[in-house]
Amino acid sequence: MGSGSSSTYSGAGGSQPYANTYHVVQKELNKDKKDPDIYNPSTGYFKNPTATNLENATQNSSVYIDGKKADGQYTYVMDKNGKIIFGKRSNPNDSAKRAPHPTLIGGKDPEVQNAGMITFKNGKIFSVDNHSGHYRPNIQSMGKVESALQKLYERDPKLFHKDSKWRK
Amino acid sequence: MNQNEKILEVTTYLFSCRHDDPAFDSDDSYEHSDAAQALIDEYGWKEVFPYWFDYLQKKCPTEDDVINFAHLFFYYGGSEQPLRDPYPFVSYLYYRVNTAKYGADATDIFDSIVIPLLSNIGEISLENEPDYVPEKDPRILSGVEAWRKADTTG
């Protein structure tokens, strides 16, 4: 069972205690439930249409999203199966809002192993962090993401920007 | 060639290309990226930034040009550099491009610039404000208004 379940973590600052998986923190869940552009009472979080499995998004040593080279900061989660899913922050339902991390999975209780922001420059992986106000994952969970990216690096180092830590 | 001419020449070289041109820094080449880094290393960000901002104001006549500039600015690491008051610069992006009209292409790359610049000076934190929307930030809105006034009076 993951930590950060609605009964155990208020989301009032700091990270959640280390766990295999994390639920959305209560504070953010309560807020999202009031917003029909983010959360539907019967189906839960909408699914971000740009959600992309990083492993399957590579072509000619570059990462693509929506038919273009990934370029900028994107939200990402590591799902329960260890896949890194990333997507655009813009909200397709309302341009004046953003699509939070849980929308990369969608549904009523999207559990993740980690969440944060991933940065690409001209299609190359540049950096990754664990900045997610919705999941507030423990820093210890970064190791799982680092390992997954290391495997990707071993498969194709040119997927990574030359100034990224993997190539230094 | 003096310092000003040199910065101007390299700035023009860096920003006169299309970020989505398949030939742009392709196949593990970092020619433009390296040139940007060398320029900042040699003259310092404080000297270089005004030239980049000036290029945006004078050489990017269309919304598409501004979005292209934003991608290049991000790629060259502009959002990782310190800017004590980033509001005039970031407000200018929204003054020039209506992101509601232009859509995700503008929204995502502008967010990618604004969030690090404002996080660097402690103005925002995505962990505390995960739904932060620059277009609703009163400080940016007032910056956009200032650019609009300057445009009509200037």
Given an 8 Å threshold on Cβ–Cβ distance, is B126 in contact with A117?
yes
Sorting pLDDT into bands at 50, 70 and 90, what band is A4? very low
What are the residues of chain B with a beta carbon less than 8 Å away from any beta carbon of chain A?
Answer: 19-20, 24-25, 27-28, 30, 33, 71, 74-75, 99-100, 103-104, 107-109, 111-112, 115-116, 125-133, 135-136
Option in A13, A97, A133 nearest B129 (CB): A133
pLDDT at A8 over 50: no
Option in A98, A117, A121 nearest B75 (CB): A121
Which helix H or strand E contains B53, and what residues bound it?
helix B45-59
Residues of A in contact with B112 (CB under 8 A): 72-73, 119
Given an 8 Å threshold on Cβ–Cβ distance, is A69 in contact with B20?
yes
Helices (H) and strands (E) in chain B, counts: 8, 0
pLDDT attached to residue B28: 87
Q: Please give the residue of chain A at the shortest CA–CA distance from B107.
A: A90
- CB proximity list for A155: less than 8 A, separation 6 or greater: none
Sorting pLDDT into bands at 50, 70 and 90, what band is A104? very high
- Cα(A117)–Cα(B2) distance, integer angstroms: 41
Tokens encoding A142: 């970064």
Option in A68, A90, A162 nearest B107 (CB): A90
* Chain segment B100-127, per-residue pLDDT in tens: 988 898 999 999 999 999 999 999 999 9
ipTM of the complex as predicted? 0.95
Q: A18 with A141: CB under 8 angstroms?
A: yes
Which helix H or strand E contains B43, and what residues bound it?
helix B31-43
- CB proximity list for B54: less than 8 A, separation 6 or greater: none
H-type alpha helices, chain A: 26-33, 142-155
Tokens encoding B136: 């609703």
Query: Nearest 5°: phi and psi at A64?
Result: -120, 150
The closest of B63, B53, B137, B55 to B97, measured between CA atoms, is: B63
Given an 8 Å threshold on Cβ–Cβ distance, is A71 in contact with B19?
yes
Query: Nearest 5°: phi and psi at A121?
Result: -125, 115
* Chain segment A11-54, per-residue pLDDT in tens: 456 899 999 999 999 999 999 999 999 999 999 999 999 999 99
pLDDT attached to residue B84: 95
* Chain segment A42-95, per-residue pLDDT in tens: 999 999 999 999 999 999 999 999 999 999 999 999 999 999 999 999 999 998
pLDDT at A5 over 50: no
Domain ranges of chain A: 26-167
